[in-house]
Structure 1
């Protein structure tokens, strides 16, 4: 029962930090804690309170039937669908649990206006602002999560390769994005992990370009950044392909990115920091003459959300641990000319890095 294991992690956190309860509001955190599949959507309609003994989830009538069915399977969560608003519910629960003056953790992302309502309704509670407590627990994936992410990656990879078969000059970025989305969903993705990026020619120099009506031309590099969602978990991949033959300069740029990606992958292991991996990629690009041409962090964690902890960035001095799932995505961006990015998502193992993606790093040329 994965939910029980995760609840126990949170309850140990309460003990370690001398807290009586934690309030959880983010849907991604709630999904991770409950394991309730096909229940949570984009609406912020739920709040949970976890103590050292109790797990109570408040929702509304639109979700209560599905949640009670899932809760019955797990036998851990109490589901409350009273007509109380969030603040009223939490105040009621603190009173019922005899924690009116308790030390209660709240996430720092809580809106100020909502925090003021909490404070007014529960003046004796000792609210403690916490940062990323559950996100840090989520950063280490278990075997079930890895299975789902590998499944999502397999679907995304197959869909991408099918999309390339129909790629041709004159097709627009938008049409290619729609085709890739259709292929992922047809092959079993519940939804996209994020909006596809399809950026051709000079648009490739915009790392988060939105697919446009620009049509592919001979000699274009095309950056595809895409991911599928399966069982609530994401994949994340980027490949850069070429329409027709690539110039010597394009190949030089591509090979620099490829070397940086593969050098990082060879060095990721428990104990190295996100900052060290970012610096490694930057130094490899600089050796090829592309210093300061990446402009973004090397990578990020992936899981229920497409961007999670840990970060492979200059600011992350914390060591990676086995079970972290991260992206390795160096890039070079030359405004007005081209962009190249190669991204693999994989898990940090006891001895190194296992990529989930089997799509070649060789430059794929669409004739």
Structure 2
């Protein structure tokens, strides 16, 4: 439980009496137990010098033990008051004077924050997000191995979707084909709702697949990812069906060049914001700056969108072990959109693209 120990050390250094971590991703990161409790309470209490305690629905206790959690588990039924159980567990550890508690301020609800302060009326709530983000930023070799497998399955999903394109096939049919094939390969869940958009709909960066039928000359944009052992992949590829106009070919090549400009800078020591600026400069010089409305990418790991935000104002530096996406795009309302996205791992001297499906313009016949 090195991660628990690292968080305990930070609490001690900051003179914080405890941390209450409640998001599924961070509970999994700290404990190895992955749980989606719906409206029920899930959390792990970590202390500077006391045994941690996990609280979860009683029906999940066996899974928590099987996940390797060796410390106390508070399993509650739907008629129990979990906060009373928490109070008893903390009192049993001899903890009485609490001045501050670290929580995920962006996740903890107001109601649960009030319940926590009812237990510790004199305590203030401080943020633990920065420390957890810093811990999760650099991936271990084991984490990279899992992310590499998630990326491999994402490549397979793109390959499957492209092979299923045909005249009259709908966006949702393609979604169903891709997800069915991935589940047969062992992908238990997707990182997010699979996005497959055709024709003018591909010009919507976050459009919703529907019953739009694929037609000759359409761009078809695939954005998908899978979860492997809790870790996410995220890939986007754009192809053309039967033919591509000169305008379509032009914007495709601009996006590919923009992505390469960011990839060329992907190495330790580069300022994060420079990756965004490098791609944006290519797109702006081609005359399409107004049609690239989002950042270059985002961190990737237990959450499909996690720290850092890869935007032009981010002054953080790339370090070995980081994993993030690079995904420039151009979206023309009357033509369609192109986005090319890869999962990038920073190595000792450069980078590795975990997703490897071809980035040459594919024209499906």
2:133 corresponds to: 135
Matched, 1:350 2:348: yes
Q: How far apart are 1:86 and its partner, in Å?
A: 4.0
Structure 2 counterpart SS, 1:322: coil
Distance in 2, Cα, partners of 1:222 & 1:315: 32
Can you give the 5+ residue segments of structure 1 that lack an aligned partner in the other structure? none
- Counterpart selection for 2:72 from 61, 74, 78: 78
Distance in 2, Cα, partners of 1:131 & 1:86: 24
Distance in 1, Cα, partners of 2:361 & 2:355: 15
1:272-331 deviation per Cα after TM superposition (whole angstroms, max 9, x unaligned): 222221111111111211113110111001111111111211342222221111000000
Distance in 1, Cα, partners of 2:209 & 2:339: 16
Pairing 1:1-367 to 2, within 5 Å after superposition:
4-36=1-33, 39-41=34-36, 43=38, 44-53=40-49, 54-71=51-68, 75=70, 77-82=71-76, 85-102=81-98, 103-109=100-106, 110-367=108-365
Distance in 1, Cα, partners of 2:4 & 2:146: 20
The two structures, once aligned, show a CA RMSD in angstroms of 1.7
Q: TM-score, normalised by structure 1?
A: 0.93
Q: How far apart are 1:199 and its partner, in Å?
A: 0.8
Structure 2 counterpart SS, 1:332: strand
Distance in 2, Cα, partners of 1:178 & 1:50: 42
Q: How far apart are 1:357 and its partner, in Å?
A: 1.3
1:316-354 deviation per Cα after TM superposition (whole angstroms, max 9, x unaligned): 222222111100000001123210000000211121221
Is the 8 Å Cα contact of residues 99 and 125 (structure 1) preserved in structure 2? no
Q: How far apart are 1:82 and its partner, in Å?
A: 4.8
Is the 8 Å Cα contact of residues 19 and 128 (structure 2) preserved in structure 1? no
Structure 1 residues 166, 46: closer, same or farther in 2, change over 3 A? same
Distance in 2, Cα, partners of 1:100 & 1:293: 57
Structure 2 counterpart SS, 1:210: coil
* Aligned residue pair count: 359
1:142-171 deviation per Cα after TM superposition (whole angstroms, max 9, x unaligned): 111111111111122123213322211211
Distance in 1, Cα, partners of 2:177 & 2:340: 21
Distance in 2, Cα, partners of 1:313 & 1:89: 43
Distance in 2, Cα, partners of 1:86 & 1:26: 17
Can you give the 5+ residue segments of structure 2 that lack an aligned partner in the other structure? none
Structure 1 counterpart SS, 2:90: helix
Structure 1 residues 45, 112: closer, same or farther in 2, change over 3 A? closer
Q: TM-score, normalised by structure 2?
A: 0.93
